[in-house]
Chain A
Amino acid sequence: MSEPSPPFPLNCLYLYLADRCNLSCGHCWISPGSVRDPSNELPAEILKKTIAEAMTLGLQSVKLTGGEPFLYRETRPLLGFLAAEGIDVIVETNGTLLDRDLIATLRKCKTAQISVSLDAGRAEVHDKLRGVKGCFDRTITGLRLLAENGLGFQVIMTLCRRNLGEIPGLISLCTELSAVSLKINPMQPCGRGKDRFRENDNLDIAELIRLYRMVEKEWSFRKGLEIIFDLPAAFRSIEDIKARGIVECRILNILGILANGDLSICGIGQTSEELRMGNIRRHSIREVWENDPVLADLRAGLPGRLQGICGRCLFRFQCLGSCRANAYAVDRDLFASYFLCREAHEAGLFPLSRIDNDERPS
């Protein structure tokens, strides 16, 4: 007889393999360093041991992210291990370091998703946003290599005022490159993004809602390219939700492992040290997953303790407040309402049909 599933399976590990990056994006929510000092990086052997232990807790997938994950020196042995274990691999990269050798290694893995950041259809705009001249061309080269080798990929655009006009051009480029999807993420007020918000480079919620509707109406599927505009469920149409479902905050089923081995609820531990919970060099991941008080608090408190409009949203059980790391970064509170939902509610733009008025018709 098989053992019963744990009540909160650890479905996915987010591996922040490198705490540095070869780009310098003005909107980065984590603000990695640029110094190439890998001395503090984890040996792949330690990661492999932890991943093997996490498999006993329900692990199905691993996300490789960073900083730029392919700066990690032991990427290839790690990918080899994941391939051998049959674990789904998700990659978030800027695509500039993709080469034939790395792609051959990736092809041996069960790649569930490869997401590559690209903020514009024109080099001069992308390079300026990403802070490194020539990075657009390197990313495009990487994307072409992925396509040539039959690896599907998603392009992720971080949307701000500076690249608002780039959406049509980027859609055309993604179609030309045979991307599977284009995901448009509004810029977040965390990390370096805080400064960009102060400069009013972000779009407000009214603009985002208008843009979402325009994308859904005019561009949502174009020549096989799926376009996903990432807004909280409260603002999405029923048709969209029926087609794609609600992408909830995954905080109850993930753990982040930072580049030095520290554990955190996700990448937020890189900027908020108080949300770190041990280190895999010294602690068992099972011990942390089963006993850490922050995790216990989240499990007990979501969605019941969500505050403000998130606590009254009819989608709170699925959405879990969109992104709890963002709530913490903005309000230093894991149960605070999500900033966009709060902004919408204060502006009278939160859909009334999606607010729980506690009515119980008799």
Chain B
Amino acid sequence: MMDSSRIFKQNNQMVYREEEDGAFLFNPETGDLRYMNRSGREAYAMLNGEKDFSRVVQNMLDLYPDADPSRLQNDVETFFGDLEKNHFILPSNSR
């Protein structure tokens, strides 16, 4: 389970592109791609190096009040976990 105080920021070495039905990230070094639907795009946009994980989850619940809170938290955790593992996002204290 993700530490709720963890803070992430976007990795500015990655190419980020928004489209009508979502967005995607491209790693120019490896060619790796990650696709996001609209809600993924919203969660990713919150990673400004200031909001911690619990705050992002709360903000997402504010945007999607009908969502099941524990499922949404799991989804965000899985999403951020994958992005971090593949260097698309970084812990806020890293350079």
CB<8 Å pairs between A and B, sample of 30: A237-B19, A238-B21, A238-B23, A238-B24, A238-B35, A238-B36, A239-B22, A239-B37, A241-B35, A242-B35, A242-B37, A303-B31, A314-B17, A314-B24, A314-B26, A314-B33, A315-B33, A316-B31, A317-B31, A318-B31, A318-B33, A353-B17, A353-B18, A356-B26, A356-B28, A359-B15, A360-B13, A360-B15, A360-B28, A362-B12
Does chain B have a CB within 8 A of A354? yes
**CB neighbours of B19 from chain A (8 A):** 237-238, 351, 353
Residue of B nearest to A361 (CB): B12
Bound state CA distance, A315 and B18, in angstroms?
15
Residue of B nearest to A362 (CB): B12
Q: Label chain B's interface by main secondary structure.
A: strand
Residue of B nearest to A318 (CB): B33
Q: In this complex, which of A238, A239, A303, A314 has the most chain B Cβ atoms within 10 angstroms of its Cβ?
A: A238
* CB interface residues, A 282-331, toward B, < 8 Å: 303, 314-318
Residues of B within 8 A of A (CB): 12-13, 15, 17-19, 21-24, 26, 28, 30-33, 35-37
Structural contact, B28 and A354, CB atoms closer than 8 A: no
Bound state CA distance, A351 and B17, in angstroms?
11
**CB neighbours of A356 from chain B (8 A):** 15, 26, 28
Nearest chain A CB to B33 CB, angstrom units: 6
Bound state CA distance, A237 and B28, in angstroms?
21
**CB neighbours of B26 from chain A (8 A):** 314, 356
Convert A236-252 into 0s and 1s, putting 1 for each residue whose CB lies closer than 8 angstroms to a CB of B.
Answer: 01110110000000000
Bound state CA distance, A279 and B49, in angstroms?
60
Bound state CA distance, A303 and B33, in angstroms?
15
**CB neighbours of A317 from chain B (8 A):** 30-33
Q: A239-B37, A354-B17 are in contact. List 8 more A-B contacts (CB 8 A).
A: A238-B21, A238-B24, A238-B37, A241-B35, A314-B26, A317-B32, A351-B19, A353-B17
Bound state CA distance, A238 and B26, in angstroms?
13
Nearest chain B CB to A195 CB, angstrom units: 37
Bound state CA distance, A318 and B26, in angstroms?
11
Bound state CA distance, A315 and B15, in angstroms?
12
Nearest chain B CB to A220 CB, angstrom units: 13
Nearest chain A CB to B2 CB, angstrom units: 22
Residue of A nearest to B32 (CB): A317
**CB neighbours of B23 from chain A (8 A):** 238
Nearest chain B CB to A28 CB, angstrom units: 34
Bound state CA distance, A358 and B28, in angstroms?
8
Residue of B nearest to A359 (CB): B15
**CB neighbours of B17 from chain A (8 A):** 314, 353-354
